[in-house]
Amino acid sequence: QLPKEGRVAWESPSNIALVKYWGKYGEQLPKNASISFTLSHCKTTTQLSFEKKDTIENFSFEIYLDGKRTESFEPKIKKFFERVEVYLPFLKQYHFKIETQNSFPHSSGIASSASGMSALALCLLQLERQADSAMTEEFFNKKASFLARLGSGSAARSIQGNLVVWGKHKSVKNSSNLYGVAYDGLHDIFKEYQDTILLVDRGEKQVSSTVGHDLMHNHPFADQRFKQANENLEKLLPVLASGNLEEFIHIVEQEALSLHAMMMTSHPYFILMKPNTLQIINKIWEFRKSHNSKVCFTLDAGANVHVLYPKKEKEQVLDFIKNQLVVYCQKAMYLCDEVGSGAKSI
């Protein structure tokens, strides 16, 4: 029996892909498998209050971001509700109040879709779980990831930690295009890997990731790219298990640049990196050589740079960032994060 009213809350992290998802088909299904580190500090906290209503014709919800009613998110959430309704058939029975907060600043250029959509998916599924005490933890995680995926593809990788594979891959048993699965095979050095996110550009992206994914249809290099990503994942798994940082760097940086190469060679073509993105990449390469460091970078669909490095290098890399890289950041802003363990009910 579904509750008449109540409240649930979840916090859910962002994630950073090591092998990238870029290109989809059907209902938010990936053209290649991807793998990501779950992050720890960049997260969304969402509280969902729900109350049964008399009519069941329409979805009914209100959204508050940092305590302020925010109507601009409504179309996105409505679309999400429409997509997940078949899997959560009770949605129209309730009025929802969605109160959400991000740990990272607004318009920092950090995508909140992975953490935001996964937090909302978790809250909605928690409501269902209240009426179904037989629901196992395993089923809950799979379904939460499945629902999150329908909000934003990469959100499928934000439910669990510390390493998640989303997309069917021959070397990952139980992997699926429908949801992400936690991958248990991380060398200790990666369990506390650091990700410092340099905020190069805080503006609106000129091209959304939805449009970017669509441009992979009819992309001249699409098939090669999907093959490369699956092969890179195949190569990365033993590297993640052994802690071979040289190989890790090679694969991760190649993935970041391949992602952006796809953007630069689509029709129409576009560039999301900024001049400062390239300055930072060059500085990282110089520093790695001159300091015998294992620092490397990755990028998501934007100009910001994720600087990845082992915890034992934290002091020297943070000094390097402060001394040489913050000049390329907007308002000298960067965020320190690290590998984390997944979403939490609060």
Q: Lay out the site mask for ligand PMV across 45-84 (x = CB under 6 A, - = otherwise).
A: ----------------------------------------
Is 153 near ligand PMV (CB under 6 A)?
A: yes
Is 209 near ligand PMV (CB under 6 A)?
A: yes
Q: Which listed residue (22, 94, 190, 287) binds ligand PMV by CB under 6 A? A: 22
Tokens of 258: 């391949």
Count of residues touching ligand PMV (by CB under 6 A): 14
Beta carbon of residue 49, minimum distance to ligand PMV (angstroms, whole number): 27
97 CB-contact burial (10 Å; exposed 0-12 / middle 13-18 / buried 19+): middle
Give the whole-angstrom CA distance, residue 109 versus residue 324: 21
Q: Which stretch binds ligand PMV (CB under 6 A): 60-68, 81-89, 146-154, 308-316?
A: 146-154
Q: How many Cα neighbours within 13 Å face the side chain of 321?
A: 27
Is 154 near ligand PMV (CB under 6 A)?
A: yes
Beta carbon of residue 136, minimum distance to ligand PMV (angstroms, whole number): 27
Beta carbon of residue 252, minimum distance to ligand PMV (angstroms, whole number): 12
Give the whole-angstrom CA distance, residue 120 versus residue 46: 7
Beta carbon of residue 96, minimum distance to ligand PMV (angstroms, whole number): 23
Q: Cα 39 to chain center, whole Å?
A: 9
Give the whole-angstrom CA distance, residue 254 versus residue 299: 10
Is 113 near ligand PMV (CB under 6 A)?
A: yes
Tell me which residue of 332, 288, 335, 331 sits closest to 313, measured CA to CA: 288
Task: For the beta carbon of residue 315, count every other beta carbon within 10 angstroms.
Answer: 9
Q: Lay out the site mask for ligand PMV across 31-50 (x = CB under 6 A, - = otherwise).
A: ---x----------------
Q: Which listed residue (38, 45, 46, 152) binds ligand PMV by CB under 6 A? A: 152
Q: Which helix (H) or strand (E) holds 24?
A: strand 24-25
Contact 195, 16 (CB under 8 A): yes
Residues that bind ligand PMV (CB under 6 A): 17, 20-22, 34, 113, 152-154, 209, 213, 259, 300-301
